[in-house]
Amino acid sequence: MPKPVYVYKDVSQAYQRKSLPGLRVLSFFCYSLPLSLYIVKLLGAALQKVRLVRGSSVKNKFYIAAILYIAMSMRFPLGTVATQPQSAQGDGIFTPRISPVAAIDKTNRPMTVELPHPEPSFAALMVQGKPTGDSYIINFSTGSAGGACVYSGTGRYLIESTGTLTFQILADCGKLRRAYSYMICSLDESLRCSEPPWWYFKDRTFVVTTQGVAVNGSTVYPWKDTSLAPEQLQAMAANIKSMKDRFRNDPHVVHSRLISCRSFHPSTRSYEIHEIATTCLVKSLCDGIPKVDSLHDGDRIDWNSPVGSYVKQENKISDVSTWVCWIRTQ
């Protein structure tokens, strides 16, 4: 029975290359004040000839944008952010997604207190005072803030607005802070992992509770604000349910149960997804597939079970150390 295979790789360099033409256009536009003024004059005259109900509003917005461009070319005191040399376009699996950390988080995301070395996979990396290899600087007319980044020696767990349980490694960059984020798993509406944890967390278990994030069934890392956590978790669960319901109720989607597998390739920072349908339009084609009725979405496949043996046989797997499989409903 044919099984689709999808290959996903880190495309951060492609994102960087794709942004270069836009930067060249901006640099050309802002190269000189006379050229910028001339272009603004021509476009302004063209706008006057266009009959729009809200034409004056459009024209005013255009002039504001044009003035900002000119200010950039004249080096007027606008705040700019400089980051060196890591890219923020990591995949969140093998390479981190980088983001600033606000002194007061207003996103209403549930997050734990900051913890010293909670994840063993990063113990050698997140040593307090160790340079991250990049910097985070904001330049102002009166000076600059930030600097070279060093690991603070702490990390935290949080749930993103997309319903993804995430681990963040924290760093200090002068008086500014940054987070280096790695995906753990996607959560379902009961705030349970709907898939096995990703590469750096694949041998661990995570459970979200009203008290905090329980790791490996023992250690519970408490929420930063225990009074707000229940309300935040309830809102997050409702948001995830709403997203899932839109997908479930889509008449154009054919729903089925699948055995999903990931095979990781750490050396190339890539992975493959292999999927096997557990139901067939022609029943005889599914005769060899073991029953999965007792398994729930997100349940990991035991390699020593009949289902695990079947998956190894179908995918010709001899070494399961870089593989993980589970049940999911499409």
Residue 254's pLDDT is 66
- Kindly state whether residues 107 and 211 are assigned to the same domain: yes
Q: Decide if 271 is inside a domain.
A: no
Residue 277's pLDDT is 86
Task: Please list the residues that pair with 254 across neighbouring strands.
Answer: none
Residue 84's pLDDT is 47
Residue 196's pLDDT is 94
Domain boundary among 45, 75, 105: 75
Domain boundary among 210, 228, 244: 244
What is each CA distance from 237 to 166, 233, 245, in whole angstroms? Answer: 16, 6, 12
Residue 151's pLDDT is 97
- Kindly state whether residues 185 and 170 are assigned to the same domain: yes
What residue numbers bound the domain in which 51 lies? 31-75
d(CA 305, CA 20): 51
Pairing of strands 270-277, 131-140: unpaired
- Kindly state whether residues 237 and 91 are assigned to the same domain: yes
- Kindly state whether residues 91 and 224 are assigned to the same domain: yes
Domain boundary among 244, 263, 295: 244
Listed residue (186, 137, 132, 187) closest to 155, CA to CA:
132
Domains: count for the chain:
2
Whether the CB-CB separation of 177 and 170 falls below 8 Å is answered with yes
- Model-level pTM greater than 0.75? no
Pairing of strands 176-186, 97-100: antiparallel
Along the 330 residues of the chain, how does pLDDT read in single tens digits? 434 444 433 333 333 333 333 333 333 333 344 444 444 444 455 444 433 333 334 444 444 444 444 444 444 444 444 444 454 578 999 999 999 999 888 889 999 999 998 999 999 999 999 999 999 999 988 888 999 999 999 999 999 999 999 999 999 999 999 999 999 999 999 999 999 999 999 999 999 999 999 999 889 999 999 999 999 999 999 999 998 888 777 777 667 889 999 999 999 999 999 998 888 777 777 777 888 888 888 899 999 999 999 999 989 998 999 999 999 987
